Chain A
Amino acid sequence: MKILTLLGLFSACFSAHSINIENSAGQFFSSGHTNNWAVLVCTSRFWFNYRHVANTLSVYRSVKRLGIPDSHIVLMLADDMACNHRNPKPATVFSHKNMELNVYGDDVEVDYRGYEVTVENFLRVLTGRLPPSTPRSKRLLSDDRSNILIYLTGHGGNGFLKFQDSEEISNVELADAFEQMWQKRRYNELLFIIDTCQGASMYERFYSPNIMALASSQVGEDSLSHQPDLAIGVHLMDRYTFYLLEFLEDIHPASKTNMNDLFKVCPKSQCVSTPGHRTDLFLRDPGSVLITDFFGSVRKVELTMEAINLTDPIKQVEENPVNGEGQKEVYSYTDQLPVSEIIHQKPKQKDWHPPDGFILGLWTLILLVFFKTYGIKHLKHIF
């Protein structure tokens, strides 16, 4: 009898434990993302834009250090600073003066280099519309469970970013590209960081869900460069990315720092410009988003000795309530043909013409003046 109760107790515990495993398996599989990608773009060329390449390479370095492998990073550098003839230290790109930190390193893998960095290539990478011959290293092979970090730097203005001194990408194009990504289920969540002058204008037009954006300066402000290195003769980094790099150097794969700390990077006293961010399209609370959700590639590993049956569909278990509203359907198609808008909108304004009566009166006036000056006898020439 005792053995029976013991056995019963054991089986009860066992079944409870297995139910727990089922639950935690449900919890395990319903977390947000499963893989991380990064698209890091430097859009300017020429030696005096050294700092943009250093910016991108320092973010690349952090991202790699925190775990995203090269196969998941698309690095686009518009010019080669390390091997530029003017570089007094060839094969290096420094981010701190006195050559403290060489962000070029010896295992940099540049996917798009030089003149390959164009607006068309950038948009094709984002939307996945690449020719079949494109190698895997140049593709963004993300899926609907990927968290993507997109970092852009270069020279920009109100509503545009300059590529290569010859073309521009506008904020509308970028927003549409992100919408295409959303409709093709190419991302789970997207973090967009931009370090240019008037960078906040680039994220004004986003309208796809699950995008969080940061910029180094507001509209009407310039992003400033940090410090020059006198031996190399150029500015090494931009301020925002410099302080971003310092912030990221403190992050390790297990750290629990969240996005609110990232928003505090480089306040106006250090950056001179006012960094901005946008979180209204993002469904989770920024305080609950870890830095490593985007910058690192943290694998969730749970060790168990049990066997789990995955025959039933896993119930979606929410981790914490979102805004107290309850989880609404995250995925939805945008309205392709907004019929209601078409039915109820006003007729499209044609080009303005002066009212008809005015033109008639004008011609009458002209004819009257004509006849007054030249006499009524000319009437017969007209009729």
Chain B
Amino acid sequence: MGLLSDPNRRRALISMLTRLNAPICVVCYLAGVAWFMGLAFEPFTLRTYMSENAMGSTMVEERFPAGERALATGREFAAHKNKVGGMPVDWLVKTMQDRGLEVFTQSFSRTLPFPDENKERYIVKGTNVYGILRAPRAPRTEALVLSAPCSPGDNNQAVGLLLGLAQYFRNQIYWAKDIIFLVNEHDLIGMQAWLEGYHHTNTTGMSWSPLQGRGGSIQAALTLELSSDVITSLDLVLEGLNGQLPNLDLANLFYAFCQKIGVLCTIQGKLQRNDWDSVSGYSHAVQTMMLMVMKQASGRPWGDHGLFLRYHIEAATVKGINSFRQYKTDVTTIGRLLEGMYRKLNNLLERLHQSYFFYLMPSLSHFVSIGYYMPAFGLLAVILLLRALDLWVQLATPPSRTEDGIADIDQSSPGVLSVLTPLVISHLTGVALYTLPIHFQETAVEHFPVSETEAVVLTAIAIYTAGLALPHNTHRLLSGEGTEQGWRVLKLVAVLYLAVLLGCTALINFSLGFILALTMVPLAAFVTPHVPKVLSAFILVILSPACTLLFSVFFFQELQEMPVSFQDGWLLYLSVISQGILDHSLYGSLVYPLIALLVYPCWLLFWNILFWK
């Protein structure tokens, strides 16, 4: 007889499953965490290599000469920016036209749902200026983008370098794609307006004027952030909207050129170390990888490039960092590096697709691909499945004792209705958490002495905390109050729901899925109505998404070597929540709706289970 059809064997298997469930779950959890930590260990990673044949090696001759002139242009740009008090549109248009580009402008405006206190803006109006360098002999079917955001006060050198490169590129005849030089105002908002105008979509409710000039489908884009005349290192920023990453070949290209030209290059602002076998070297790699995980999990674009990724355009941000080092690199060298990168991107025949789209980088020269990091999440998801199997077994076996008639009756009745009520109520709370903070900000501002942003954030936290009081209220609506079968059915549904939710999240944004799994899987596994109430309630609150976010904020600051005190951390936490809500309405970031509409109700279900009786 087969393994599963033989009743004896089946019973033995099931009894082993129920007996060993908790130990296997603990082992899986520890294994998952250990696997994740082991990813940064260098022998387990792979060296980066160029996968795209057309880009080949770095054998081009870079001849960009005009670094000083670029700096002078940047100073002129700064002066005009101060004079106008915003973006000097006319000066930019004239300068780009002098360099032989086809110049166009786009105006846009957007009213944020509530004021953004970090960047101090509420009603945003701006203009993007972009110039197209037409390929001398090629049809206008493909384009590359070089952009620099116009921020008040800095990034002047980047705009100067952009204009200098535009002049140099204009004199070359080997361009096979159009190159678009873009200076966008109000960084991400302007970039979103430009991209929406370019691709004729309108997903975020912004109003913009249509683009007069286009350049074909964009193959790759680079954003420049440069605020000093000399730099000591170049930092590469990859994380984009919703944790999307550009193709690894773009990072490989950057690294290859850094090595060829001899510029110090970093990722996450951390230098590379060679001593991977020492403890400090390993912890350095872990820190770099955790920074990337944190940034990816936040789902916000960490540079203007982050918005390109949604349109399947590989993009990255190159930041110039000037720290206290002896060896300085001047703007001409940066120009040469960018020239080399663009010549190689020029050789592309099709979009970058040969290398990985899902990866983690513990350093700029090593990477971990999805095939290596997914088992870490898989081990955590297995815990949920084991728990679900255990509950299924418990539900299927008849109860060994029948105390009174109520248990008997409830055993035979389908538990669907009793499960539906907590589900609906939890999701309604989630919907409330999603919609109410923004809708009721005016009422809150009337009644409390807070600003709109604070009102929104505090309303969100209030609704979140109010959800904790739910179990006491929902039980009045429940028919089968406090039955043994009831909570098992609910937990089964909740565990499977969590498994599917976390699985789907991890596929798209592994970091977010993994961090949520780290906290939610243990609580999903151990919570029953029979555990000690006060302690478990405390643990459940600690492991809830909101507290995970709080701890992540502190942890992130620690990783960046800028630890904050508790008050500053709390304020930072509030601003993170407000940024998350703003990102969702401005750029379509999915982290806030995911947490509010799906993860929080799931957590509420477990809270319901805890207070089942």
Q: Which residues of A contact B (CB under 8 A)?
A: 46-48, 83-88, 90, 228, 230-231, 233-235
Stretch at the interface among B171-179, B203-211, B402-410, B590-598: B171-179
Selected from B54, B57, B59, B172, the residue in CB contact (under 8 A) with A88 is B172
Given known contacts A47-B347, A48-B53, A85 and B138 CB-to-CB distance under 8 angstroms:
yes
Question: Is residue B6 contacting chain A, with contact meaning CB distance below 8 A?
Answer: no
Bound-state CA distance A88–B174 (Å) is: 5
Report A51 CB to chain B, min CB distance, Å. 11
Q: Which residues of B contact A86 (CB under 8 A)?
A: 174-176, 346-347
Q: Which residues of A contact B347 (CB under 8 A)?
A: 47-48, 86, 233
Contact between A87 and B54 (Cβ–Cβ < 8 Å)?
Answer: no
Question: Is residue B7 contacting chain A, with contact meaning CB distance below 8 A?
Answer: no
Contact between B135 and A230 (Cβ–Cβ < 8 Å)?
Answer: no
Contact between B59 and A48 (Cβ–Cβ < 8 Å)?
Answer: no
Across the interface, name the chain A residue whose C-beta is closest to B57: A228
Contact between B174 and A46 (Cβ–Cβ < 8 Å)?
Answer: no
Contact between A46 and B349 (Cβ–Cβ < 8 Å)?
Answer: yes
Contact between A228 and B137 (Cβ–Cβ < 8 Å)?
Answer: no
Bound-state CA distance A233–B56 (Å) is: 9
Contact between A233 and B53 (Cβ–Cβ < 8 Å)?
Answer: no
Q: Which residues of B contact A46 (CB under 8 A)?
A: 54, 349
Given known contacts A231-B61, A233-B343, A233-B347, A48 and B54 CB-to-CB distance under 8 angstroms:
yes
Q: Which residues of B contact A87 (CB under 8 A)?
A: 174
Contact between B54 and A47 (Cβ–Cβ < 8 Å)?
Answer: yes
Bound-state CA distance A362–B59 (Å) is: 68
Contact between A228 and B135 (Cβ–Cβ < 8 Å)?
Answer: no
**What 9 new A-B contacts, CB under 8 Å, besides A83-B137, A90-B173, A230-B61?**
A48-B54, A85-B135, A85-B136, A228-B59, A230-B60, A233-B174, A233-B343, A234-B59, A235-B59
Bound-state CA distance A46–B54 (Å) is: 8
Contact between B349 and A88 (Cβ–Cβ < 8 Å)?
Answer: no
Given known contacts A48-B347, A233-B343, A233-B347, A88 and B56 CB-to-CB distance under 8 angstroms:
no
Across the interface, name the chain A residue whose C-beta is closest to B60: A233
Q: Which residues of A contact B53 (CB under 8 A)?
A: 48
Q: B293-327, CB under 8 A of A: which get 1 and which 0? A: 00000000000000000000000000000000000
Bound-state CA distance A307–B344 (Å) is: 69
Q: Which residues of A contact B136 (CB under 8 A)?
A: 85
Contact between A85 and B175 (Cβ–Cβ < 8 Å)?
Answer: yes
Between A and B, 11 residue pairs with Cβ closer than 8 Å are A46-B349, A48-B347, A85-B137, A86-B174, A88-B172, A88-B173, A228-B57, A233-B61, A233-B344, A234-B56, A235-B59
Contact between A85 and B59 (Cβ–Cβ < 8 Å)?
Answer: no
Across the interface, name the chain B residue whose C-beta is closest to A227: B59
Q: Which residues of B contact A234 (CB under 8 A)?
A: 56, 59
Report B64 CB to chain A, min CB distance, Å. 14
Q: Which residues of A contact B137 (CB under 8 A)?
A: 83, 85, 90
Q: Which residues of A contact B59 (CB under 8 A)?
A: 228, 230, 233-235
Across the interface, name the chain A residue whose C-beta is closest to B138: A85
Q: Which residues of B contact A84 (CB under 8 A)?
A: 176
Bound-state CA distance A234–B58 (Å) is: 10
Report B350 CB to chain A, min CB distance, Å. 10
Q: Which residues of A contact B54 (CB under 8 A)?
A: 46-48
Q: Which residues of A contact B344 (CB under 8 A)?
A: 233
Bound-state CA distance A87–B135 (Å) is: 12
Report B252 CB to chain A, min CB distance, Å. 16
Report B141 CB to chain A, min CB distance, Å. 11
Report B14 CB to chain A, min CB distance, Å. 27
Report A6 CB to chain B, min CB distance, Å. 81
Report A359 CB to chain B, min CB distance, Å. 26
Report A93 CB to chain B, min CB distance, Å. 14
Contact between B60 and A85 (Cβ–Cβ < 8 Å)?
Answer: no
Bound-state CA distance A32–B453 (Å) is: 96
Report A218 CB to chain B, min CB distance, Å. 24
Q: B44-64, CB under 8 A of A: which get 1 and which 0? A: 000000000110110111000
Q: Which residues of B contact A47 (CB under 8 A)?
A: 54, 347, 349
Bound-state CA distance A231–B60 (Å) is: 6
Those 4 A-B pairs whose CB atoms lie nearest each other, nearest first = A230-B61, A85-B176, A85-B138, A228-B59
Bound-state CA distance A88–B171 (Å) is: 11
Q: Which residues of A contact B135 (CB under 8 A)?
A: 85
In residues 121-172 of chain B, which contact A (Cβ within 8 Å)? 135-138, 172
Bound-state CA distance A177–B175 (Å) is: 42
Bound-state CA distance A231–B59 (Å) is: 8
Bound-state CA distance A154–B492 (Å) is: 61
Report A356 CB to chain B, min CB distance, Å. 32
In residues 335-383 of chain B, which contact A (Cβ within 8 Å)? 343-344, 346-347, 349
Q: Which residues of B contact A235 (CB under 8 A)?
A: 59
Q: B90-108, CB under 8 A of A: which get 1 and which 0? A: 0000000000000000000
Bound-state CA distance A90–B175 (Å) is: 12
Contact between A85 and B174 (Cβ–Cβ < 8 Å)?
Answer: yes
Q: Which residues of A contact B61 (CB under 8 A)?
A: 230-231, 233
Bound-state CA distance A84–B136 (Å) is: 11
- Interface hub of B57, B137, B138 (most chain A Cβ within 10 A): B137
- Interface hub of A48, A83, A230, A233 (most chain B Cβ within 10 A): A233
Q: Which residues of B contact A233 (CB under 8 A)?
A: 59-61, 174, 343-344, 347
Q: Which residues of A contact B349 (CB under 8 A)?
A: 46-47
Contact between B56 and A48 (Cβ–Cβ < 8 Å)?
Answer: yes
Report A196 CB to chain B, min CB distance, Å. 16
Bound-state CA distance A47–B174 (Å) is: 12
Bound-state CA distance A62–B343 (Å) is: 33
Bound-state CA distance A86–B135 (Å) is: 10
Q: Which residues of B contact A85 (CB under 8 A)?
A: 135-138, 174-176
Q: B496-521, CB under 8 A of A: which get 1 and which 0? A: 00000000000000000000000000
Across the interface, name the chain A residue whose C-beta is closest to B59: A228
Q: Which residues of A contact B172 (CB under 8 A)?
A: 88
Across the interface, name the chain B residue whose C-beta is closest to A231: B61
Report A101 CB to chain B, min CB distance, Å. 19
Bound-state CA distance A235–B57 (Å) is: 10
Q: Which residues of A contact B346 (CB under 8 A)?
A: 86
Bound-state CA distance A84–B349 (Å) is: 12
Q: Which residues of A contact B173 (CB under 8 A)?
A: 88, 90
- Interface hub of A47, A86, A90, A234 (most chain B Cβ within 10 A): A86
Across the interface, name the chain A residue whose C-beta is closest to B177: A85
Across the interface, name the chain A residue whose C-beta is closest to B53: A48
Q: Which residues of B contact A90 (CB under 8 A)?
A: 137, 173
Bound-state CA distance A233–B342 (Å) is: 12
Report A88 CB to chain B, min CB distance, Å. 4
Bound-state CA distance A231–B61 (Å) is: 5
Q: Which residues of A contact B60 (CB under 8 A)?
A: 230, 233
Bound-state CA distance A110–B56 (Å) is: 28
Across the interface, name the chain B residue whose C-beta is closest to A83: B137
Q: Which residues of B contact A48 (CB under 8 A)?
A: 53-54, 56, 347
Q: Which residues of A contact B57 (CB under 8 A)?
A: 228
Report B607 CB to chain A, min CB distance, Å. 55
Bound-state CA distance A87–B175 (Å) is: 9
Across the interface, name the chain A residue whose C-beta is closest to B340: A233
- Interface hub of A47, A87, A235 (most chain B Cβ within 10 A): A47
Bound-state CA distance A46–B135 (Å) is: 18
Report B232 CB to chain A, min CB distance, Å. 27
Q: Which residues of A contact B56 (CB under 8 A)?
A: 48, 234
Bound-state CA distance A230–B59 (Å) is: 5
Across the interface, name the chain A residue whose C-beta is closest to B52: A48
Report A308 CB to chain B, min CB distance, Å. 61
Q: Which residues of B contact A228 (CB under 8 A)?
A: 57, 59
Bound-state CA distance A48–B175 (Å) is: 15
Bound-state CA distance A46–B173 (Å) is: 18
Bound-state CA distance A87–B176 (Å) is: 9
Report A54 CB to chain B, min CB distance, Å. 15
Bound-state CA distance A304–B343 (Å) is: 64
Q: Which residues of A contact B175 (CB under 8 A)?
A: 85-86
Report A284 CB to chain B, min CB distance, Å. 42
Across the interface, name the chain A residue whose C-beta is closest to B136: A85
